[in-house]
Chains A and B, each alone.
Chain A
Amino acid sequence: MNTDFFILMKSEMSLTLMIFILLILKVWDEIKDNTTWLYLVNFMLLLNFAIGFMFNGDGSLFNGMFQNSPTLALEKNILNFGTLIISLLAFDWLKSHKHVPEFFMLLLSTLLGMFFMMSSGNLLMFYLGLELASIPLAALANFDLEKTKSSEAAVKMILLSAFSSCIMLFGISFLYGCTGTLNFAELPSLLGSGHLQILSLILIFIGFAFKLSSVPFHLWTADVYEGAPVTVTSYLSVISKAAIAFVFISTLSPLFINLQSMWYNILFLSIILTITVGNLFAIRQDNIKRFLAFSSIAQAGYILLGLSAGNQMGSTAIIYFLLVYLLSNLGAFGVIGLVSALADKENISDYKGFYKTNPMLSWVLAISLFSLAGVPPTAGFFGKMFLVTAGASKGNYILVIIASLNMIVSLYYYLRVVKAIFVDPNENPIAKVEGSLSSKVGMIVCMTGVIIVGFASNIYDLINQLTH
């Protein structure tokens, strides 16, 4: 054992350490106050985020089972950052909850699973990470313990993620049968275009499509998003989704390159369906969490659009977009979570007249939605623009035209919410909601990011260098 081990696995070890600290403190049973727990966790997450910037190594461990690189380190740190913001925003919900340390233990376990998944050098390791990432999520979805909807969401989630894992495992076993190895380094050279191999890769992709909630494997999303607590919903829609996309671009994409035109066609269909269906369904939602669920399905389609480019421009655009998406989506979820925790309202129609009572929160929500819609000067414009540019680099303009025209549809439903906030009259709007300091900090970070990231091209350049 040498120092490499610590440097390459520092993110994972830091998370494990945090989980153990929480466990020991919980067993010790000295901290009675939720606020103390939350500040402690936030402090640790901040440290974890800071560590993410330091000691970045490049190499592999355990005979290639585990690998790390500066790109992966950056991706992991984006997830760390998102988790920190989510924890900040969750303050108002968790401060009266009975199980705060358990919540974070589960949350950090899923994050740890995602990190292992991203760093895997072998399909077995990958599967292990995937399961570690999925199972605690179902428990998290049920974290509003007394609500039946929450339990329903959890059951749906666990069944469907088990189902999708099965499909993926099926694909993995076929792949092993064809090639005799599960090692990412060896697989691409052994893959040809045999029918069984294609079938196995398609099965693996379907497993992914489930996790990324791309159409036609999206049906679980809306129910789970609606039933789960807002914090968990935001975690699902941002961190889980980003992790899956990161796995794809950094780890798994070499497997699919041999499929070439068939791979492109699968993506092509998947993109068109995902964006269009996500958008069309989002129009009709009244529950704001369901609404964001469908809009996040559409966003997943744009991520696939970047993936279809299959080049460096595409990978850079995806990582950049996910950073922006994380900031803007968490900004929106921050407001929604606050309103849900303090005023117990979750419908778009409840937000009518919101501007009269909560001007600052209204702007946060509106700017986040504009960023999700891809309207300048927010960062969302740049994120989406680069994805579309990457998609166009293949020269498939039908795809680009459909993706771009969908931006009009998405603008429509985002503006509907903005209209409810600013324009629609309401006799008794949501009363003034006063968030805690920590959720304010979270929202300020999101808003600063949404406004600045687009203009600061250094961030894009940095990502671009790493994906080189």
Chain B
Amino acid sequence: MTNLSILIIVPILTAIAVLFCRNTMQIKWTSFIGSIVQLCMASGLMFSYISERALGNTAQMLFQQRYSWYSALNIEYFVGVDGISVAMIMLTSFVVVAGILISWSVQTLTKEFFFLLLLLSVGAYGFFISLDLFTMFFFLEVAVIPKFLLIAVWGSGKKEYSAMKLALMLMGGSVFVLIGLLTTYFNTNINGLHTWDLLQVAHAQIPLQTQMYIFPFLFVGFGVFTALFPFHTWVPDGHSSAPTAASMFLAGISMKLGGYGALRVATYLMPEAAQEYSWIIVLLATIAIIYGSFATLMQKDLKYMNAYSSISHCGFILLGIGMLTKIAIIGAVLQMVSHGVMTALFFGAIGMIYERTHTRQLSDLGGLLKVMPFIGTVYVITGLCSLGLPGLSGFVAEMTVFVGAWQRPDAFHRTATILAAASIVVTAVYILRAAGKAVMGPITNQHYLELKDANWNEKFASVLLIIGILAIGIAPFWLYNLIAPDAQIIMENLTRGGIVN
């Protein structure tokens, strides 16, 4: 029996250990070892999860633990995982290791930096394993302080503005989620008691009329986190001002909290309302995809490019959820994992380039492959993944979303699918242009010739994430099989009958 609580205890202990470190080397190594231990435990969790399933354990959530917390309000510490959460936990642990390695060269206030990074990861792990809505909300909000401080203190550019914007917009999202959750809580009645228990709420027979009120709050609330159009404006500023590791965490993990919440909380708990509102989701997601990709075309700063392309890619997550077919939902989850790994690597590569050349302007860069073959290659690989080259994870995820979306035969959904698919062409344009100019082209600045290639920690981090991309890209079936049964459960709830006004 695997103990899930260890997943949040280890980062907390690591963070506390960091506080007692005496010099920067100790701090870095403590965080690194802590995150590696966490990665091992996440992998262990995945293997024990797969073997439990292989043994025929059909419970919806495995490895459950539940303790009463605030009994008067029926709040519990209730954790458990299904395939989707396991996939997200794996993603988180990969990104955390890579983020810590990439931050090896942080000079100012090192202790605080790593402490906050670890605190941010606690929030993500806690969110993905929680099955109690209150606990889940608690973990969602834990990240507010670290995000704000990481960007405001260690960021670059107009960091104060970006940090404030991000903190307030995400707080706005949380507030929406809170209102939705409170309404949900007071509309459940299990033996005379209200409940926060996710599994019970899913079968609580909330009347459609109430669901119609709750769903927008929950979906928009989580949508803010995952750059739902028109609440995406924090993404470009936040990501481009953040220090490299924080961008990796924000785009790789935090945005996925929103996607996961939109699927697991909004759609799963309010299935009838999700069906009613799905056309709006599809519409907004399509706008985000197209808008994001065209906006990326106009960018001259590498980080802004990647931030806008994240809006476009996260649109695929919402599109997959909005299509409400099993394959599309699987595609959405695949896209969450794939985009998480890919964008973390992308921001990592940009960070490595920026640290050496001190510019992120596309016009200043050129010929990096000749001086920094490793970093150049990494940049090209993630770029290709981003534009959906077969063999890499982006292709698998986006393809699955399209296949799922194509199952909706009516004109509206077809149009949306075609438009979304067409955006890949735009993606190819900006990715190839950036890669061609910055990485391949002639060396624009003689000063670049003295630059050094990646050192061991950056190589370690990049290879780790590239393994993730390839593992999903070449052999997607292990991940697919991990997710599929749970997507089936969500689908069953979506197509259940019996709820009327």
Task: Note whether A and B form a binding pair.
Answer: yes
Chain A interface residues (CB < 8 Å from chain B) = 313, 316, 370, 375-377, 381, 385-386, 388-389, 392-393, 395, 397, 400-401, 404-405, 407-408, 411-412, 415, 418-419, 422-423, 457, 460-461, 464
- With A and B bound together, what is the CA distance between A447 and B62 in angstroms? 37
In the complex, B171 has a CB within 8 A of chain A: yes
Asked if A313 contacts B149 (CB within 8 A), the reply is no
Residues of B within 8 A of A393 (CB): 186
Residues of B within 8 A of A316 (CB): 72
Asked if A408 contacts B168 (CB within 8 A), the reply is yes
Asked if B182 contacts A388 (CB within 8 A), the reply is yes
A419: which of B152, B182, B185 is its contact (CB, 8 Å)? Answer: B152
Asked if A412 contacts B145 (CB within 8 A), the reply is no
Residues of A within 8 A of B17 (CB): none
Asked if A457 contacts B71 (CB within 8 A), the reply is yes
Residues of B within 8 A of A400 (CB): 179, 182
Q: Would you give the 0/1 interface string for B22-50, flagging 1 where the beta carbon is closer than 8 Å to chain A? A: 00000000000000000000000000000
Kindly list 12 other residue pairs between chains A and B, CB separation below 8 angstroms, not including A412-B168, A423-B160, A460-B70: A316-B72, A375-B144, A375-B145, A376-B138, A377-B138, A386-B73, A388-B182, A397-B179, A408-B175, A419-B152, A419-B163, A419-B164
In the complex, B371 has a CB within 8 A of chain A: no
Residues of B within 8 A of A376 (CB): 138-139, 141-142, 144
Task: Report the tally of A-B residue pairs with Cβ distances under 8 A.
Answer: 80
B178: which of A388, A419, A422 is its contact (CB, 8 Å)? Answer: A388
A381: which of B141, B153, B164, B175 is its contact (CB, 8 Å)? Answer: B141
In the assembled complex, how far is the CB of residue A384 from the closest CB belonging to chain B, in whole angstroms?
Answer: 10
B72: which of A415, A422, A461 is its contact (CB, 8 Å)? Answer: A461
Known contacts A313-B73, A389-B185, A401-B179: does B148 contact A415 (CB below 8 Å)?
Answer: yes
Asked if A405 contacts B70 (CB within 8 A), the reply is no
In the complex, B477 has a CB within 8 A of chain A: no
- With A and B bound together, what is the CA distance between A386 and B171 in angstroms? 18
Residues of B within 8 A of A415 (CB): 148, 164, 167-168
Known contacts A389-B182, A412-B168, A460-B70: does B141 contact A375 (CB below 8 Å)?
Answer: yes
Known contacts A408-B175, A412-B164: does B182 contact A422 (CB below 8 Å)?
Answer: no
11 contacts between A and B (CB under 8 A): A376-B142, A407-B175, A408-B172, A411-B144, A415-B164, A422-B149, A422-B153, A423-B159, A457-B69, A457-B75, A460-B70
In the assembled complex, how far is the CB of residue A360 from the closest CB belonging to chain B, in whole angstroms?
Answer: 12
Residues of A within 8 A of B172 (CB): 405, 408
- With A and B bound together, what is the CA distance between A457 and B76 in angstroms? 11
- With A and B bound together, what is the CA distance between A313 and B186 in angstroms? 13
**Which of chain B's residues has its CB closest to A454's CB?**
B138
Number of chain B residues close to chain A: CB under 8 A: 33
Residues of B within 8 A of A313 (CB): 72-73
Asked if A422 contacts B152 (CB within 8 A), the reply is yes
For the complex of A and B, the 7 pairs showing the least CB-CB separation, nearest first, are A392-B182, A464-B72, A404-B175, A457-B70, A423-B152, A376-B141, A376-B142
**Which of chain B's residues has its CB closest to A390's CB?**
B73
**Which of chain B's residues has its CB closest to A422's CB?**
B153
Report B60-78 residues with CB < 8 Å from chain A CB: 69-73, 75
Residues of B within 8 A of A370 (CB): 145
In the complex, B183 has a CB within 8 A of chain A: yes
- With A and B bound together, what is the CA distance between A301 and B382 in angstroms? 51
Asked if B138 contacts A381 (CB within 8 A), the reply is yes
In the assembled complex, how far is the CB of residue A463 from the closest CB belonging to chain B, in whole angstroms?
Answer: 9
- With A and B bound together, what is the CA distance between A144 and B145 in angstroms? 37
Residues of A within 8 A of B178 (CB): 385, 388, 404
Residues of A within 8 A of B149 (CB): 418, 422
Q: Would you give the 0/1 interface string for B117-159, flagging 1 where the beta carbon is closer than 8 Å to chain A? A: 0000000000000000010001101101100110011000001
A460: which of B72, B145, B183, B185 is its contact (CB, 8 Å)? Answer: B72
In the assembled complex, how far is the CB of residue B21 from the closest CB belonging to chain A, in whole angstroms?
Answer: 15
- With A and B bound together, what is the CA distance between A395 and B141 in angstroms? 24
Asked if A397 contacts B138 (CB within 8 A), the reply is no
Residues of A within 8 A of B141 (CB): 375-376, 381
In the assembled complex, how far is the CB of residue B273 from the closest CB belonging to chain A, in whole angstroms?
Answer: 16
**Which of chain A's residues has its CB closest to B151's CB?**
A423
Residues of B within 8 A of A407 (CB): 171, 175
Residues of B within 8 A of A457 (CB): 69-71, 75
Residues of B within 8 A of A377 (CB): 138, 142
Residues of A within 8 A of B213 (CB): 397
**Which of chain A's residues has its CB closest to B173's CB?**
A408
Residues of B within 8 A of A375 (CB): 141, 144-145
Asked if A389 contacts B73 (CB within 8 A), the reply is yes
- With A and B bound together, what is the CA distance between A460 and B75 in angstroms? 12
In the assembled complex, how far is the CB of residue A368 from the closest CB belonging to chain B, in whole angstroms?
Answer: 13
In the assembled complex, how far is the CB of residue B152 from the closest CB belonging to chain A, in whole angstroms?
Answer: 5
In the assembled complex, how far is the CB of residue A263 from the closest CB belonging to chain B, in whole angstroms?
Answer: 21
- With A and B bound together, what is the CA distance between A457 and B135 in angstroms? 13
Residue of A370, A395, A404, A412 with most chain B CB atoms under a 10 A cut-off: A404
Asked if B167 contacts A392 (CB within 8 A), the reply is no
Q: Would you give the 0/1 interface string for B224-258, flagging 1 where the beta carbon is closer than 8 Å to chain A? A: 00000000000000000000000000000000000
**Which of chain B's residues has its CB closest to A464's CB?**
B72
- With A and B bound together, what is the CA distance between A46 and B381 in angstroms? 66
Residues of B within 8 A of A464 (CB): 72
- With A and B bound together, what is the CA distance between A167 and B195 in angstroms? 44
- With A and B bound together, what is the CA distance between A313 and B75 in angstroms? 13
Q: Would you give the 0/1 interface string for B75-88, flagging 1 where the beta carbon is closer than 8 Å to chain A? A: 10000000000000
Asked if A404 contacts B179 (CB within 8 A), the reply is yes
**Which of chain B's residues has its CB closest to A460's CB?**
B70
